[in-house]
Amino acid sequence: MYRYDELDQAFVDARVAEFRDQTRRHLAGELSEEQFRPLRLRNGLYIQRHAPMLRIAIPYGLLSAAQLRKLADITRRYDRGFGHFTTRQNLQLNWPKLEDVPEILAELATVQMHAIQTSGNCVRNVTADHLAGIAPDEVDDPRPYCEIIRQWATLHPEFTYLPRKFKIAVTGAATDRAASEVHDVGLHLVRDASGCLGFRVLVGGGLGRAPMIGQVIREFLPREQLLAYLEAILRVYNRQGRRDNIHKARIKILVKALGIERFRELVDAEWQASREHAPRLPLEEIERVRSFFRPQPYELLTDIDVTAEREPRFQAWYRYNTRAHRVSGYRAVFVCLKSHQAVPGDMTAAQMDAVAALAERVSFGLIRATHNQNLVLADVPQRELYGVWQALELLGLAMPNIGTLTDMIACPGLDFCSLANAGTLDVARQIQERFDDLDYLYDLGEIELKISGCMNACGHHHVGHIGILGVDKHGEEWYQLTLGGSASGVTALGEVIGPSVPKHEVAATLERILEVYRGVRHEHERFLDTVRRVGVKPFKERAYAPHPAAA
């Protein structure tokens, strides 16, 4: 993984000192809350329902064992002994004290981490495919480019006060595992006809109140032009993006208002005109950063059958919670944060320490956070899998449900977030309880369930095969269901099936929808494909019908 040089370290140290001074001035009454707010946001600090919330950056989701241990240590000393992994590969602390935050940031800086630009109207953490570097279907590893973008975007003198937040995702694989089409900018690594590496650039995707799918602004951008082109996009956005209405300030609104052709013309003109002043990205610099992401020193191994003669639960775990690796003899292993006893994405300090130790033992000391709120040990020799499973089972991190209904995404919702209209965690619990039978989950097959507690869509409900959106109805929590969304393969936004349902009805409604699927599906047809084939109508008709048991 990338290692800080003197510049990086000097930068984060200066940043910590700056925030220490800003916090001191705020606590001394020299900086009002209104003045302090944009400064603390750019250091990841929100003031939430119960307490401050600190969002720590995990650039493109990659962590070393030492970093994960430090996170565990911080949650113990400054919080309540657990953290929450988010859909943008970050970690949130829900109970830090404001006056402790400078010290937490100083601790993070000792392991080359920070919370810079994890909130506020600026370029946010750059996210990537969680199988980057090991996926069999990859053109090139996206993480070096993520790291380059991270550095370029960090305290950018021109683009730190944008109209609204700005999210970039990079993927190098045929299958989009980074939801790149619903980002402000999505970058797909591709090769042109002559074999040169570059990017297909998408712009204007996003979720929230006005969900939109990104449009291609450039089919092929040479790698060396990456930063110059991003500057052109951001300059057009910074100058012309709306600042009069927070709900219309994302770049997607500007792209829609101008049309992609006009927006492209403006960006191209800006790109041409700023050639002399835009940052260059020489191939040597790309190679310097790429050198940190070379393939691991793998052993020469052959694929082996590790499941023969083993217990069914291990076989199920192998099938659902591990993935193919580019190198024979290895597999990628999910550390499941979706056990039916826990809040999706939550992890205790003890679990973090244990996973850090496990990573050191079997996966080159590296851990990845996924946008689905799980972790991945990417490089596990197949001969270790049984032992890894046993260890994870003891930790409560081996629930064999990855890719199934209960591997759901949920934002923190009304329990923690001051924006939320409705709870998400108790709905998640309700669903975990009702769908607790693994054989039933396996029969339902691959389903992506995504739950958001408000229109801001941090739980990505629009792109869930099944999406659940919490709404406020006269002070009560109700839930609207959408079907047919997807963020991988063909990106699609889900369709609302009808009126929202009260909280206690969510799991039952879900069950009726899934029974329709079981009734009409073709053999081996995924839920999403059935919805695409038959439309939402049959689901709509039965979702609200009285439950057969009650008839």
CB closer to other proteins out of 16 and 202: 16
Tell the smallest beta-carbon distance from residue 35 to other proteins (Å). 7
C-beta separation of 156 from 168 below 8 A:
no
* Region 209-238 residues binding other proteins, contact defined as CB under 8 A: 227, 235, 238
C-beta separation of 474 from 450 below 8 A:
no
**Among all chains, which residue has been given the structure tokens 């402790």?**
100
CB closer to other proteins out of 118 and 154: 154
DSSP β-ladder status, 127-128 and 168-171: parallel
Tell the smallest beta-carbon distance from residue 351 to other proteins (Å). 35
**Measured between alpha carbons, how far is residue 205 from residues 180, 382, 449, 469 in Å?**
8, 38, 20, 19
Structure tokens given for 252:
């997607």
281 in contact with other proteins (CB under 8 A): yes
* SS3 label, residue 321: helix
Structure tokens given for 290:
């790429």
23 in contact with other proteins (CB under 8 A): no
What is the three-state SS of 411-469?
Answer: CCHHHCCCCCCCCCHHHHHHHHHHCCCHHHHHHHCCCCEEEECCCCCCCCHHHCCEEEE
CB closer to other proteins out of 6 and 437: 6
* Region 285-314 residues binding other proteins, contact defined as CB under 8 A: 285
Structure tokens given for 208:
């929230």
Tell the smallest beta-carbon distance from residue 5 to other proteins (Å). 9
Residues 28, 29, 33, 157: which binds other proteins (CB under 8 A)?
157
Tell the smallest beta-carbon distance from residue 334 to other proteins (Å). 34
- Rounded Cα distance between 196 and 177, Å, is 23
CB closer to other proteins out of 7 and 549: 7
CA 374, 176, 293, 183: dihedral to nearest 10 degrees? -80
**Measured between alpha carbons, how far is residue 50 from residues 34, 81, 163, 329 in Å?**
19, 17, 28, 48
Residues 105, 162, 447, 513: which binds other proteins (CB under 8 A)?
162
7 in contact with other proteins (CB under 8 A): yes
Structure tokens given for 484:
């047919």
Residues 280, 504, 518, 533: which binds other proteins (CB under 8 A)?
280
CB closer to other proteins out of 10 and 196: 10
Residues 95, 98, 274, 403: which binds other proteins (CB under 8 A)?
274
CB closer to other proteins out of 152 and 298: 152
Binding range to other proteins, per CB under 8 A, among 9-17, 134-142, 519-527, 530-538: 9-17
Residues 10, 257, 283, 301: which binds other proteins (CB under 8 A)?
10
Structure tokens given for 383:
């001969």
CB closer to other proteins out of 237 and 527: 237
Structure tokens given for 194:
């002559």
Binding footprint of other proteins on the chain (CB under 8 A) = 6-7, 10-11, 14, 17-18, 22, 35, 38-39, 121, 151-152, 154-163, 227, 235, 238-239, 243, 273-281, 285
